[in-house]
Amino acid sequence: MKRLTVTGNIGRDPELRLDPSGHQFASFSIGVSVGSKQTPKTDWLEITCNGKLAEIICTYGRKGTKVLIDGFPAVSAYINKENQPVGTLRVYANSIELLNRVDIDQSSSNAATAESDELEHVLSAEEF
């Protein structure tokens, strides 16, 4: 069984899209810090999720948000336009936890509390 748990910062706002059969999914990238303080490096991973998890990450996840993602990895390789080999690591997320404070409009505290409770419950539970 392949399983990957990773923590990083969202590098671009998640995009919600529909596949040909009408199911929604979201994709975004995260930057993961690797290396030492003397030689810092960032690895970029592509993340894909679907269903309610996709809706929620598109609503509350923004560029810079720190996330903890649990899912399974898929590696692909191809030759780019410059005839150079390129490899990518995509993670299909089963669960996503937001590690930063979520900014919620405080104009209606009851609605904000309900949204916050729903977000906490859904993001920390496994989707499938």
Residue that is written with structure tokens 């949204």 in the block: 115
Task: List CB contacts of 86: < 8 A, sequence separation 6 or more.
Answer: 77, 78, 79, 80
What span, in angstroms and rounded, lies between the C-alpha atoms of 123 and 128?
Answer: 12
- Predicted pLDDT at 1: 75
What span, in angstroms and rounded, lies between the C-alpha atoms of 90 and 92?
Answer: 7
Tokens of 56: 């929620």
Task: Provide the 8-state DSSP code for 21.
Answer: T
pLDDT per residue rounded down to tens, the chain (128 residues): 789 999 999 999 999 999 999 899 999 999 999 988 899 999 999 999 999 999 999 999 999 999 999 999 999 899 999 999 988 889 999 999 999 865 544 333 333 333 444 444 344 434 43
SS (H, E, C) 25-92: EEEEEEEEEEECCCCEEEEEEEEEEEHHHHHHHHHHCCCCCEEEEEEEEEEEEEECCCCCEEEEEEEE
- Predicted pLDDT at 102: 53
Q: Residue 48 phi/psi, 5° resolution?
A: -130, 135
